[in-house]
Structure 1
Amino acid sequence: MDLDDVRVVVTGAGRDTGLLIASAFAARGARVFLSARDLGAARRAAEPIRAEAFRCDLADPASVREFAEAVRARTDRVDVLVNNAAQYREGEISDDEVEQIIAGGATGTVLLTQHLLPLLRRSDRPDIVTMISGCGEPGNHRSAAHPAFYAAKHAQAGFAEILSHRLRPEGIRVISLFPPDFVQEGPRVAGSALTARSVVDCVMFAVGQPRDCFIREFRFEQVR
């Protein structure tokens, strides 16, 4: 799939799944704008794939606005926005961590999408991809994630659902993924845990479809 000069924004791309997503787009010729809460991590991730690095703390509205403004200063459109950033926690956590998880996953996702929507509307192939998690599915209780993470992911799911309905007439595809807890590396065989690379392959498949194909969601079977 040739994505030459496709403009892609990926949040939470300093490492792991976000970096894999950014790398997959860059390898296909896309111009990638990636962010992380730590600018140093963003720069280290961006250098080998020739992406552009930015700091963005989604739990901080001012940081979200600064990131969106920086992207607007460098491109006249965004073709793909990948809302990937998330703070996963288990066990007992502090009040501040609860606030960070919900603010980043819920408020931050809404604000960044809202700020970049004018640039997405200038694209002839606009996609909004959100890495939600199985924790955003009604009745899901399989993850050991803290309830705050569940709350943030349910907020993302609700946002993506109404966004899909309202933006469909404009030709903007809203694609949501609901993977269970997955591993970064693994054998990728039946019976094994879902891997990050398999999740990334789903993203690349969805954005590569013709514009009459609106894949709204990816739901995954559980290993357990």
Structure 2
Amino acid sequence: MTVTLITGANKGIGFETARQLLARGHTVYVGSRDPERGERAAATLGARFVQLDVTDDASVADALAAIGAEQDRLDVLVNNAGILADEAPSGPAALRAFDVNAVGLVRVTEAALPLLRKSANPAVVTVSSSMGSFWAVTNPERPESGLPLALYAASKAAATMLTIQYAKSQPGIRFNAVEPGPTATDMTAAFGIGRPAAESAAVVVRLATLGPDGPTGTLQDERGVLPF
């Protein structure tokens, strides 16, 4: 049985990723900052729940300790929790964006590493964004070049870079970042665009279910590797 933790999994892409991995036989832990929403999502899915706020060190440590107490390892970590951070740039807004989208990734990954090292086929997937790709935002043929989301783009660039650096420092674990595609979620409701979350979750699931010989240190979308 593959043991999987997904952060921010009480709705949207995280929820649908959990649904699809459960269908593949994974034991899935739904990580959610809000206990009521997380427990409800886990019950709906038939998953397990852990309270997990990626901005709180104690919450992250407690969540991984709870998983460790029930399981002898963690096979897959999906760093999905994130915020759009579309407000006007300011010091507090920047700190919030990076705390959730980048520093939160470090908190969870560092806490998960001891359990991941016990897996025979460990994988970490970070839900990043092509908005964090220098190639995409400077390419006039790409829609990212016309979206002024400074804090979101910068924090997702950091998330992708952290993923690449973890791939280098942890060669026994596959680390990949993913651009899941434009998705209709609470986070993107203001834009009125996007496809169903289940379609984007399938892109995450592909990277979460790679074999031991799968790639590491990449940013990918549904078509394959993206420059970053």
Instruction: Provide the TM-score with structure 1 as the length reference.
Output: 0.82
The match for 1:148 is 151
In structure 2, C-alpha distance between the alignment counterparts of 1:70 and 1:97, rounded to whole Å: 32
Aligned-residue sequence identity (percent) comes to 27
The match for 2:140 is none
1:107-126 to 2 correspondence within 5 Å?
107-126=103-122
* Post-superposition CA distance 1:158-214 (Å, at most 9, x none): 11111112223x2x1112112454335xxxxxxx95553333222322333332222
Cα shift at 1:93: 7.0
1:46-85 to 2 correspondence within 5 Å?
46-85=42-81
Question: Cα–Cα, structure 1 residues 214 and 61, in superposed 2: closer, same or farther, change >3 Å?
Answer: same
- Code of the residue aligned with 1:67 in structure 2: it is A
1:78-97 to 2 correspondence within 5 Å?
78-92=74-88, 96-97=92-93
Cα shift at 1:139: 4.4
Q: Paired residue for 1:163, among 150, 166, 182?
A: 166
SS in 1 for 2:49: strand
Cα shift at 1:217: 3.0
Task: Give the length in aligned residue pairs.
Answer: 208
The match for 2:12 is 16
Contact in 2 for aligned 1:135/1:180 (Cα 8 Å): no
The match for 1:189 is none
In structure 1, C-alpha distance between the alignment counterparts of 2:115 and 2:198, rounded to whole Å: 28
The match for 2:207 is 206
Contact in 2 for aligned 1:137/1:178 (Cα 8 Å): no
Question: Cα–Cα, structure 1 residues 19 and 163, in superposed 2: closer, same or farther, change >3 Å?
Answer: same
Structure 1 portions without partners, runs of 5+:
185-191
In structure 1, C-alpha distance between the alignment counterparts of 2:64 and 2:211, rounded to whole Å: 28
Q: Does 1:182 align with 2:178?
A: no
* Post-superposition CA distance 1:70-119 (Å, at most 9, x none): 22222110000000000113243775444322111111111110111110
Contact in 2 for aligned 1:78/1:119 (Cα 8 Å): yes
Moved more, 204-213 or 158-167: 204-213
Contact in 2 for aligned 1:82/1:131 (Cα 8 Å): yes
Instruction: Provide the TM-score with structure 2 as the length reference.
Output: 0.81
Moved more, 126-135 or 212-221: 212-221
Structure 2 portions without partners, runs of 5+:
138-143, 186-192, 224-228
